[in-house]
Amino acid sequence: MQLFNFPYSSMHLSVIIPVFNRPFEVRDLLESLSIQTDPVFEVIVVEDGSTIKCEDEVDTYQSKLNLYYTYISNSGPGQARNAGSRIAKGDYLIILDSDCVLPPSYIETVRKSLSRNYADAYGGPDRAREDFTSLQRAINYSMTSFFTTGGIRGGSEKLDKFHPRSFNMGYSAEVFERTGGFSTMRFGEDIDMSIRIIDAGFKTRLIKDAYVYHRRRTNFRRFFKQVYNSGIARINLYKRHPHSLKLVHLAPAAFTIGVGLIAALSVLVSPFFILPLLFHAMFILLDATFRTRNVLIGLLAVTTSYVQLLGYGFGFMHAFVRRIIFKKGEFSLFIKSFYH
């Protein structure tokens, strides 16, 4: 394959996209890749056992991108990413979720940033575009707000080491070779990968300007299942990497217990005990409305924030009881929601 020499770096980039039954998502992502200000990269689409394939969408962009397509039996996005990483020709691999869309300067931003301040692995934040649905923008708020995630997901470096997330991350070919890529964990596999990257002595960092628009085609029910599994995954990760559990990871479980106590006291003692929750909900409403300039999104954000906090909290406590108290093995639920 021909290598190009860009003025700020000759780094050869490979973009890897796992997909399962979402050709419409792949079309949008490939379109955004086709209009990058830096066009020097290859794209590898890994079809993870889909019954609704994206071959037509890939064919449409063959003339616009240096594009490869491969099909594997269904094994989850972690193993699909590994399959793409094994056939990638680049010396630096970029991992994207299929429900992301890139701003035109994404590749250029990544290449310039790594050229100035190299890191063996990086992650970037996610945003919601103005044309996303109100629910998608509300979920984006709850997934990225400091008041719901504590600043540890994608857009901040509040903890001691930055842990890239797989919706928007990259790592060198050497990282993949030495770590073996993503594990077989069903959920939390990206955090497990980041922990192993750091434990192997590689440098990671956040590239704040390398953001993606994360569409998140979901609903309240699927969102609850997703965050419930995230809570379970945190305990699974603790069992694999005891040093990975931080105080902030306990917050949703503490919040869930607190909500239960407040609800009980408001019923059994006095309805005034519900006031702290009302103030909390009002604060989220005002903050989300201010950030999005949309009252409807603010109202939805109250619901999505509580779905996120309670879902994660219940999943965390479920896994704590099963894995810590009863010493059971690694598990996850809602396997059919793996790509949601």
Per residue in 139-168, pLDDT (tens digit) is 999 998 887 876 555 455 554 589 999 999
The Cα–Cα gap between 280 and 304 comes to 14
In this prediction, residue 9 carries a pLDDT of 62
Burial of 294 (C-beta count, 10 Å sphere; 0-12/13-18/19+) = middle
User: Which pLDDT value is given to residue 327?
Assistant: 95
CB atoms within 10 A of CB 241: 15
pLDDT of residue 340: 46
Average pLDDT for residues 73-82, to the nearest whole number?
Answer: 95
Kindly tell me if the per-residue pLDDT of 19 is higher than 90: yes
Res 156: pLDDT:
53
Tell me what the mean pLDDT of segment 36-62 comes to: 97
- Does the pLDDT at position 63 exceed 90? yes
Quick check: 242 pLDDT over 50?
yes
Mean pLDDT of 48-59: 96
> What's residue 2's pLDDT?
37
Residues 6+ apart with CB under 8 A from 190: 78, 164, 165, 166, 169, 182
Query: Are the C-beta atoms of 113 and 209 separated by less than 8 Å?
Result: yes
pLDDT of residue 6 exceeding 50: no
The helix or strand, by DSSP H or E, that contains position 100, with its residue range, turns out to be: strand 100-101
Q: How many CB atoms lie within 10 A of CB 126?
A: 22
Q: Which residue matches tokens 């708020």?
A: 141
How far is residue 42's CA from residue 164's CA, in Å, rounded to a whole number? Answer: 21
Q: What is the mean pLDDT of residues 180-205?
A: 96
Residues of the chain with pLDDT > 70, as a percent, come to: 92
C-beta neighbour count of 336 within 10 angstroms: 9
Distance CA 15, CA 11 (A): 13
Q: What is the structure's pLDDT at 1?
A: 34
Q: Which residue has the higher pLDDT, 161 or 105?
A: 105
The residue assigned the tokens 């497990």 is 192
CB burial string 6-31: b at 16+ within 10 A, e below: eeebebbbbbbbbbbbbbebbbbbbb
What would the mean pLDDT of 298-327 be, rounded to a whole number?
Answer: 97
Please, what is the average pLDDT of the chain? 92
pLDDT in tens, 248-280: 899 999 999 999 999 999 999 999 999 999 999
**Nearest one of 129, 130, 75 to 99, comparing CA atoms:** 129
Position 211 scores a pLDDT of 97
Q: Which residue carries 């607190």 as its tokens?
A: 258
Per-residue pLDDT reduced to its tens digit, 321-330 = 999 999 999 9
pLDDT band at 17 (very low <50, low <70, confident <90, very high): very high
Residue 34 CB-density burial (10 A; 0-12 exposed, 13-18 middle, 19+ buried): middle
Q: What pLDDT is stored for residue 217 in this prediction?
A: 79
